[in-house]
Structure 1
Amino acid sequence: MFNRTIVYVLVAALAAGLGLWAAQRYFTSPAVTPSGPTTQAVRLFQPPRELPAFSLRQSDGTALVPGELKGHWTLVFLGFTHCPDVCPTTLAQLSQAQKQWSAIPDSTRPRVLFASVDPERDTPDRIGEYAHGFHRDTIAATADIPALEQFTRSLSLVFAKMPAEEGRPADEYTMDHSATIVVLDPKGRMAGVIQPPFDPNAIASDFIALTREPSP
C-alpha cells in the first residue's frame, strides 16, 4: 500500500503536468479567422491584438520596445542557444525564407525575432552570435524572467525550465517552450501564427505577399 504522502506527491505532479499541457494547448492554438490575402503558412486572425508594453534586451545591448518593431511584419520565435534540435532547425528554416525575401527594401523587409527564454546562460553577446550564425538580419533579444513571462504571455506562448537529468551538473538543464511562431503586423500587433512543421518556401511566399499589401 502506497504511503499517503507519496500519493499526494504523485497527484500533485500529475496535476502540474496536465496544467502545463493544457496551457500549451490553449496558448499555442488561439482562435483564428481568415483575414486579408490568402496565405499558405500563416494563420491570420481578425482583429489583430494590441500588445502591452514590453522591453527586451537586444544582442547589441540596446532595448527592444514595441516601437522598434513597427513598419515591418515580424516573426517571433522562442528558443535558447543550448537547444539541441528544435531551435537550430527552426532558425535554419527561417533563414531560408529570409534569403527569399532579401530583395524587399530594408525599410519594409520582414524581420525574424529570436527571443531567448534562458537568460541565465544566454548573454546578449551569445544570443547575437548564435542567431546571426543563421542569418545576419535576425534580431536576437532576451530579458529577465519576469519580463520574459510578461512578453510571452502577451503572445499566448509558454516556457518552463526543466531540471538537469539525475547525475548531471545543475547547469545542464533544458528549457521547454512553445514551438509556434507568432506573427506581428507592421503596427506591432499580434496578427497571426505559424504552426510547425514549417515550410520555408510557403513562409517566404506569404510574407512577400503580405508586405505588398497595404497595412491594415
Structure 2
Amino acid sequence: MFNRQTLLILVAAIAAGLGLWAAQVVMSPGTAPSPAAPAAALPAVDPDRLKAVRLFPAPRTVPAFALQQSDDTPLEPAELLGRWTVVFLGFTHCPDVCPTTLTDLSRAQAQWDHLPEGRRPRVLFVSVDPERDTPAKTGEYARYFHADTLAATAPEPALENFATSLGLVYMKVPLEGGDYTMDHSSALVVLDAQGRQVGLIRPPFVPADIAADLALLAEVAP
C-alpha cells in the first residue's frame, strides 16, 4: 500500500516524464516552431561604402500623410514612390541652418543631373512654419537653391504627424518683441524608392558624399 511519501515521488516522476515528452515534441523537426518572418530587405550595399548615409537595420514604414505642395496639389506617399528622396525640415525665415543645408543639397543635386530622370534622387523641403510659410512661398524658397527641389507644408496636426513619423521634431520659440523662430531637427531623412525610411544623414554635410551615396543607392535599388 502506498504511503504519502511514495505517492509524492510517483507524481513527481510522472510530471517529469510528461515534461520530457513535451520537450521532445516541441523540439522534433516535424513540429518545430515557425521561424519569425525575415525583416524587409535593405539595399544590398556594404555600409562601409557609404560616407554620408547611415542605413537602419531594417526599413521603417512611413504612415499615411498629406502635405500641400507649392502648386497646391497634395503630396501623399504615392508621390514619393519610384525614386530615392532626401527629406529636410526647415522654414523660410531660418537665418542659417536652412539656407546652408539647402545649399549643400543643391551641390549634391547638381551631381545627379547626368542620371536618368527616373533614377535621379530628389530633395523634399518641408516647412515647419505654416503660419508664415504658405505652400507657394515654401516652393519659391526651395527652388531658389535648386529648381528640382520638391516643397511642401501642412497645417497642424498633419505637419507634426508627418515629422514625428520620421523621428524628427520642431518647436516654436518666442523671441523678444513678439516675433518667433522655429527650432527643428537638422538631420536629413532618406526614403527609398518604395517610400520607406531607410536611413539618416547627419551634419556636417559633405555634398560630394551625399551625392555619391544616393547615386549608389539609387543604382542598387532603383
Q: What TM-score comes out, normalization by structure 1 length? A: 0.80
C-alpha contact 2:43 2:220 (8 A) present in aligned 1: no
Q: In the alignment, residue 214 of structure 1 is paired with which amino acid? A: A
Partner of 2:193: 186
Instruction: Give the 4+ runs in structure 1 shifted more than 3 A.
Output: none
C-alpha contact 1:34 1:45 (8 A) present in aligned 2: no
Residue 174 of structure 1: how far off its partner (Å)? 0.1
Query: Which of 25, 43, 46 matches 2:54?
Result: 43
What do residues 23-78 of structure 1 show as CA deviations (whole Å, max 9, x unaligned)? Answer: xxxxxxxxxx9962421100011210011100000001000000100111100000
Give the whole-Å Cα distance in 2 for the aligned partners of 1:145 and 1:97. 31
Give the whole-Å Cα distance in 2 for the aligned partners of 1:145 and 1:202. 34
Unaligned runs of 5+ in 1: 1-32
Query: Which of 76, 80, 94 matches 2:91?
Result: 80
- CA RMSD of superposed structures (Å): 1.4
Give the whole-Å Cα distance in 2 for the aligned partners of 1:40 and 1:72. 20
1:176 aligns with 2:183: yes
C-alpha contact 1:35 1:44 (8 A) present in aligned 2: no
How many residue pairs get aligned? The number is: 179
User: Which residues of 2 match residues 1-216 of structure 1 at below 5 A?
Assistant: 36-37=45-46, 38-165=49-176, 168=177, 170=178, 172-215=179-222
CA 1:201–1:52: 2 relative to 1, 3 Å: same
Give the whole-Å Cα distance in 1 for the aligned partners of 2:164 and 2:183. 15
C-alpha contact 2:128 2:170 (8 A) present in aligned 1: yes
C-alpha contact 2:51 2:210 (8 A) present in aligned 1: yes
CA 1:115–1:190: 2 relative to 1, 3 Å: same
C-alpha contact 2:62 2:165 (8 A) present in aligned 1: yes
What do residues 162-211 of structure 1 show as CA deviations (whole Å, max 9, x unaligned)? Answer: 1122xx1x3x2100000000000000000000000000000001111111
Residue 138 of structure 1: how far off its partner (Å)? 0.3
Q: What TM-score comes out, normalization by structure 2 length? A: 0.78
Give the whole-Å Cα distance in 2 for the aligned partners of 1:77 and 1:214. 22
Unaligned runs of 5+ in 2: 1-41
Q: Which has the larger radius of gyration?
A: 2
